[in-house]
Amino acid sequence: MLVLGAVGLLLPLAAQGWRLSLFAVGLLGFSFSVVLYNVAQLSYRQAICPPELLGRMNAAVRWIVWGALPLGSLAGGALGTLIGVRPALWVGMIGSWAAGFWVLFSPLRRMRDVSAGPETAGTAPGEPWLGEPGLGEPPPGRVVLGQGQAIPDVEEQIMRLLPGQSAEADVTFPDDFADETKRGQRRRVQITVHEVKRQNLPPLDDAFAREIGDFDSLAAARQAVRADLEQEARREGDAGVRRQLIEQIVAANKLEAPRPLVERLLATYAQAYEIPDERLEKFAAEFRLLAEAQVRRDLVLDFVAEQQQLKATEDELDHRVAELARRRNADQAQLYASLQKAGRLKDLERQITEEKVFAYLLQQSTVTEA
């Protein structure tokens, strides 16, 4: 960075005639040093940052870096007005070049590799975190006991500790662990309890009902929740039939999932779960079958919806929003605006379309109870 950045010092030397070429050479060298810096610092940041903090870290860096650009522009303009354009260029280029000395005199200059961070079993969605001793300071995490967020042996060790206490113990991955390769394995882990919080539930009364929604009483809230649960139960009951129906259509037509669509869906999954670059290949291998099945499902539904003109209409969307507003005892216009602001209207429209497609497919099929 210091070597290539020094080429940028040619920029203030540019003038008419042959010296105009100094501007092009200086700008080329300076731009190349910026690219080199971005590649190095971005790779280093992603290597040392815990996966669950990557989004927060990137947002903070973007806010600081891009947020300083307007201030730099104002400072550069003011400096050029006070001392002239060429002296202002000297100040800017010397300052940019000298910034590399912070790295030159830091431990980074002597580093040739980044030490591995703590291994985590919670790298895939739904897997609990599990840190091992001897691999540096593990990333802090929050675990709710009794909800499967940690394997049983880890929960048992946590229950024995008080805030501020640490312990090392041998734990065994259960036979139903998400990662089949780790089932039955034993690991030596280090656990530190930083703090303990107890979940205090509010009393179930009319005041609680008014807090969670626009309900006049607890009875009204219960009725709305019961209606939602009944609808969810019906959806879950239909899910098995729908899945088998799609599988039979795919098998009968020998439908293949186009690779570009699969890769795009995998990238969406990785972005949603904030998977670091070094784990993308493993993540893609683990979730490729799921992505292929989802792509085939979407292709079937989109084809039937297009051929049979089953896409959700505006009237159907308005009717669904009105139904949701009635069940939640909310204003329809406000709920519509809230869904639109959150980007949920497209999801609701897709849900209606899928319901119409499956209803059509079931009419063309014979369904028998097993």
What is the set of domains in the chain, with CATH numbers?
2-110 (no CATH), 116-198 (3.10.50), 207-363 (1.10.3120)
Q: Say yes or no to pLDDT of 119 above 70.
A: no
What is the pLDDT of the chain when averaged over all its residues? 80
Q: Which of 103, 101, 3 is nearest to 44 (CA)?
A: 103
Q: Contacts by 43-46 with C-beta closer than 8 Å and gap 24+?
A: 44/108, 44/114, 46/276, 46/277, 46/278
pLDDT of residue 138: 54
11-25, 112-126, 298-312: least confidently modelled range: 112-126
Q: 104 burial class (0-12, 13-18, 19+ CB within 10 angstroms)?
A: exposed
Taking the C-alpha atoms of residue 35 and residue 57, their distance in angstroms, rounded to an integer, is 20
Distances (CA, A) of 150 to 118, 147, 182: 16, 8, 14
pLDDT of residue 131: 47
pLDDT of residue 140: 64
**139: pLDDT confidence band, cut at 50, 70 and 90?**
low
pLDDT of residue 124: 41
Considering only residues 102 and 327, tell me which one the structure prediction assigns the higher pLDDT: 327
pLDDT of residue 118: 38
Q: Say yes or no to pLDDT of 7 above 50.
A: yes
**319: pLDDT confidence band, cut at 50, 70 and 90?**
very high
Axis crossing angle, helix 345-363 with helix 332-341, rounded to the nearest 10: 100
Which single residue is written with the structure tokens 């259509």? 249
Q: Say yes or no to pLDDT of 219 above 60.
A: yes
Q: What pLDDT, in 10s, does the model give residues 73-101?
A: 888 888 888 888 888 888 888 887 777 77
Task: Identify any residues that bridge with 166 across adjacent strands, giving them in sequence order.
Answer: 192
pLDDT of residue 17: 83
